[in-house]
Amino acid sequence: MEAELTVTANEVVKLSSNGHQTEVNQQNQDQDKKKKKKSSSKNLSTSSIWRIEDSEALYRIEGWGQPYFSINAAGHVTVSPKGDRGGSLDLFELLQSLKQRNLGLPMLIRFSDILEDRIKRLNACFDQAIARYNYSGIYRGVFPVKCNQQRHLIEDLVKFGQPNQFGLEAGSKPELMIALALLDTPGALLICNGYKDEEYIETAMLAQKLGQTPIIVLEQIEEVDLVIKVSQQLGIKPIVGVRAKLSTQGMGRWGTSSGDRAKFGLTIPEIIRAVDKFRDANLLDSLQLLHFHIGSQISAINVIKDAIQEASRIYAELALLGANMTYLDVGGGLGVDYDGSQTNFYASKNYNMQNYANDIVAELKDTCEENKLTVPTLISESGRAIASHQSVLIFDILSTSEVPSILPEPPQDGESQVITYLWETYQSINQNNYQEFYHDAAQFKEEAISRFNLGILSLRERAKAEQLYWACCQKVLNITRQQEYVPDELEDLEKIMASIYYINLSVFQSAPDCWAIDQLFPIMPIHRLDEEPTRRGILADLTCDSDGKIDRFIDLRGVKSVLELHPLKSGESYYLGMFLNGAYQEIMGNLHNLFGDTNTVHIQLTPKGYQIKHVVKGDTMNEVLGYVQYDTEDMVENIRQRCEQALEEKHISLAESQKLLQTYEKSLSKYTYLVS
């Protein structure tokens, strides 16, 4: 379901156009920001009033959000969808106006302008590198459809990519169908990857006749004969590429995408066999492209450099063997700085887009010069780097659960000795003894539980002992938070004492990588950022699955186990945003506990405000039940019959049965998430 709406709201502040800035300039800015950050964190400890800057530093929004996300004076997250080119809107106010349009949470908000900015940025970086190194070839990027196949996004991508002849990469037959139907930019490339059968190859080759530029990339040695056969049958000379298994290993989670035992690609001996076969079939001039992909989210630039060096050598050798080498396709892997640390940590990257483009262009130029070859057209298949920033997932908090924080009364006469011990421990904890007394408290609590199990401590006494124990933990925690160094054994205390924030979201549906591969996404409140977040919490989702939680958050160094959050205010909603999650999450999300797709809106800036371009309603219960083969009409009928029977047996009144039936039927056409 979908609707088009136009709004000219007053949410948009200043719209200026001061030209496009590539990431080169940004690097220097980033350095400055780093220095600034140091001074702001100093202020953090000296000033007692919480400021917006403190929230900026705490949630590291400059690190990962630049140039799209920041915080305004009202303490709300703002979005600048055009990056440095001006125009911004208040995310909290945008959410309010979307809620007034009867759109429930959780909600995925897509900013089409961010998508456009990412494409422009990537192209600008390559153009700049090409100019800088006097490279005589061009760059022709493609977007890997697998990264986010949603129609509105692919349509936008093709449209925004037109000025740069940006193309698409398909990794399967269904993705090929999408790419063939949607890509209509003259000169843009259509890279055909993935496993192929005769039908796939035929379709790709025939697309040439429609004016497309499909390039069939061989991923398996078996595909060589198939391509030759189909080419001869159709009398079409295809453009063919080979995917090489580089010996350069990627790193981290996707490190095994390369190397001799990788799932895809041809080994060097296989590439030689392919060359010989194409020569024998008189098709060697069809072999024009070399492709490699060493994995996604490459955090270290040296890995990319090594891969380019190896690939450019293979490229040159293929040209010397007589292949008509014209294109080098460096695959994906361009990373996203999820934690904003600019390091080679897996959730970050120690290079920027410009460094990436520079290294590719420079290496190719050198190798081709050495071998007196014309430089290739450069192709990259960046998915994550293009699609991550454009969507923000907004969700609300249903309730929280805290560790009991009421301080119990002092011990009473007749109460167990262990309570007195705990009370005394609690009273005496200070900066010098907290480590020792923390252990004492734990021991006394254990003691209390054994006494309870032996029948010599009452339930009320046990409650008091437990409360005293938590009070001790809280006191120790308050001390450790002031310390530079936290003893190892106390590191978990923050987690043990964390509040649980119940979120109106399914991690399995909306952020599956959090659960499946421990991916980190920046998460923060989108309002109240002028207020100190005094709670530390973990997030627990709606599913009845203990894995449905988020307890790993970005941090300056590594990962933190709790997130700083605000206490809930009664009668007021509290909203969190998960950022940079536009790549891979939507299609990988699953229907665990039958929580369906969330509502999605597409927002585009206009000179006067913004426009809601598309509303894609999330799944209803009818829809998710249909996925698992229920016929909801039958289900309603079943309930109706049972109501009639209960009526006849006088277990239910007519009014009650009508209410049940109506609620049941109405619910089925509604959102699978909670209404708060």
Integer angstrom CA distances of residue 207 from 168, 191, 239, 366: 14, 12, 12, 35
Q: By C-beta, is 382 or 581 nearer to ligand PLP?
A: 382
Binding-site string for ligand PLP from residue 370 to residue 399, where x marks contact by CB under 6 A and - marks none: -----------xxxxx--------------
Q: By C-beta, is 331 or 596 nearer to ligand PLP?
A: 331
The CB-of-384 to ligand PLP minimum distance in angstroms stands at 3
The CB-of-257 to ligand PLP minimum distance in angstroms stands at 7
List binders of ligand PLP among 501-540 (CB under 6 A).
none
The CB-of-118 to ligand PLP minimum distance in angstroms stands at 11
Q: By C-beta, is 278 or 584 nearer to ligand PLP?
A: 584
Q: What are phi and psi of 125, to 5 degrees?
A: -65, -45
List binders of ligand PLP among 175-204 (CB under 6 A).
193
Q: How far apart are CA 62 and CA 60, in angstroms?
A: 6
The CB-of-197 to ligand PLP minimum distance in angstroms stands at 18
The CB-of-341 to ligand PLP minimum distance in angstroms stands at 19
Residue closest to 536 by CA, chosen among 593, 583, 592, 473? 473
349 is a site residue for ligand PLP (CB under 6 A): no
Q: How far apart are CA 541 and CA 562, in angstroms?
A: 15
List binders of ligand PLP among 138-157 (CB under 6 A).
144, 146-147
Whether the Cβ atoms of residue 137 and residue 377 lie closer than 8 Å to each other: yes
Q: By C-beta, is 214 or 331 nearer to ligand PLP?
A: 331
The CB-of-447 to ligand PLP minimum distance in angstroms stands at 54
241 is a site residue for ligand PLP (CB under 6 A): no
DSSP structure string for 275-339: HHHHHHTT-GGGEEEEE----SSB--HHHHHHHHHHHHHHHHHHHHTT----EEE--S-B---SS
Q: By C-beta, is 299 or 341 nearer to ligand PLP?
A: 299
The CB-of-334 to ligand PLP minimum distance in angstroms stands at 5
The CB-of-545 to ligand PLP minimum distance in angstroms stands at 27
37 is a site residue for ligand PLP (CB under 6 A): no
Looking at the DSSP bridge assignments, the partners of residue 291 are: 243, 329
Q: How far apart are CA 24 and CA 272, in angstroms?
A: 40
The helix (run of H) or strand (run of E) holding residue 32 is helix 23-46
Binding-site string for ligand PLP from residue 465 to residue 494, where x marks contact by CB under 6 A and - marks none: ------------------------------
Q: By C-beta, is 355 or 657 nearer to ligand PLP?
A: 355
Q: How far apart are CA 119 and CA 20, in angstroms?
A: 12
Residue range at the interface with ligand PLP (CB under 6 A); choices 80-88, 325-333, 499-507, 611-619? 325-333
The CB-of-506 to ligand PLP minimum distance in angstroms stands at 23
Whether the Cβ atoms of residue 94 and residue 11 lie closer than 8 Å to each other: yes
Q: By C-beta, is 80 or 355 nearer to ligand PLP?
A: 355
Q: By C-beta, is 299 or 467 nearer to ligand PLP?
A: 299
125 is a site residue for ligand PLP (CB under 6 A): no
618 is a site residue for ligand PLP (CB under 6 A): no
Place of tokens 């964190």: 41
Looking at the DSSP bridge assignments, the partners of residue 671 are: 620
The CB-of-193 to ligand PLP minimum distance in angstroms stands at 5
Q: Give one word for 342, left, alpha or beta, with left for phi > 0 and alpha for psi -120 to 50.
A: left
Q: By C-beta, is 262 or 368 nearer to ligand PLP?
A: 262
List binders of ligand PLP among 566-595 (CB under 6 A).
583
Q: By C-beta, is 146 or 365 nearer to ligand PLP?
A: 146
Q: Which of 319, 334, 392, 580 binds ligand PLP (CB under 6 A)?
A: 334
Q: How far apart are CA 287 and CA 640, in angstroms?
A: 66
Residue closest to 578 by CA, chosen among 152, 105, 87, 1? 105
Q: Which long-range contacts (CB under 8 A, 24 or more apart) does 342-346 make?
A: 342/30, 342/63, 343/299, 344/299, 344/300, 345/299, 345/558, 346/252, 346/253, 346/297, 346/299
The CB-of-276 to ligand PLP minimum distance in angstroms stands at 25
Q: Which of 22, 231, 288, 296 binds ligand PLP (CB under 6 A)?
A: 296
Q: By C-beta, is 88 or 297 nearer to ligand PLP?
A: 297
Q: By C-beta, is 382 or 504 nearer to ligand PLP?
A: 382
Q: How many helices (H) and strands (E) does the chain have?
A: 23, 25
For ligand PLP, which residue has the nearest CB?
332
Q: Which of 81, 167, 241, 331 binds ligand PLP (CB under 6 A)?
A: 331
CA angle 173, 580, 627 (to 5 degrees): 45
Number of Cβ atoms within 10 Å of the Cβ of 440: 17
Position 456: which residue type?
I
The CB-of-338 to ligand PLP minimum distance in angstroms stands at 13
214 is a site residue for ligand PLP (CB under 6 A): no
Residue closest to 114 by CA, chosen among 297, 385, 347? 385
Q: How far apart are CA 465 and CA 386, in angstroms?
A: 55
167 is a site residue for ligand PLP (CB under 6 A): no
Residue closest to 539 by CA, chosen among 558, 521, 563? 563
Q: By C-beta, is 298 or 601 nearer to ligand PLP?
A: 298
For the four alpha carbons of 346, 351, 353 and 356, in that order, the dihedral sign comes to negative
Q: Give one word for 295, left, alpha or beta, with left for phi > 0 and alpha for psi -120 to 50.
A: left
The CB-of-174 to ligand PLP minimum distance in angstroms stands at 15
The CB-of-258 to ligand PLP minimum distance in angstroms stands at 11
The CB-of-263 to ligand PLP minimum distance in angstroms stands at 10
Chain-centre distance for alpha carbon 198: 35
Whether the Cβ atoms of residue 618 and residue 586 lie closer than 8 Å to each other: no
The CB-of-335 to ligand PLP minimum distance in angstroms stands at 8
- How many residues form the binding site for ligand PLP (CB under 6 A)? 18
First to last CA, the chain: 23
Beta strands in 335-477 (DSSP E): 377-379, 391-401
Residue range at the interface with ligand PLP (CB under 6 A); choices 290-298, 339-347, 369-377, 654-662? 290-298
Q: By C-beta, is 91 or 191 nearer to ligand PLP?
A: 191
Residue range at the interface with ligand PLP (CB under 6 A); choices 92-100, 327-335, 369-377, 407-415? 327-335
Which residues contribute to the site for ligand PLP (CB under 6 A)? 144, 146-147, 171, 193, 293, 296-297, 331-334, 381-385, 583
